[in-house]
Amino acid sequence: MADGMFIQVEVDESVRGDAELAQKLADACPVDIFENAGGRVEIVPANLDECVLCELCIHAAPPGAVRVRKLYSGEVLQSAD
């Protein structure tokens, strides 16, 4: 989990070690919030506030694996399980 000023991004621990997903998320995010760190999904905290809420990461991941919480409203963006 990582917090920016406006959003919090959570990646379920069960998928953090999925090298294919790590690359998929790194490729999908237009503002480089995700990084493939040796086959592990890592969040780049410095880029969190660049998020444009496009939901490409949510659609690239298995249901419930990635959550984006809007800190200003409490709304959570995630795909349905």
17-70 pLDDT, tens digit each: 999 999 999 999 999 999 999 999 999 999 999 999 999 999 999 999 999 999
Task: Say how far apart CA 46 and CA 39 lie, in whole Å.
Answer: 20
pLDDT band at 2 (very low <50, low <70, confident <90, very high): low
**Nearest to residue 76, comparing CAs of 50, 61, 55, 56?**
55
**Residue 5: per-residue pLDDT:** 79
Q: What is the pTM of this model?
A: 0.89
The structural domains of the chain, ordered by start, are 2-77 (3.30.70.20)
pLDDT band at 79 (very low <50, low <70, confident <90, very high): confident
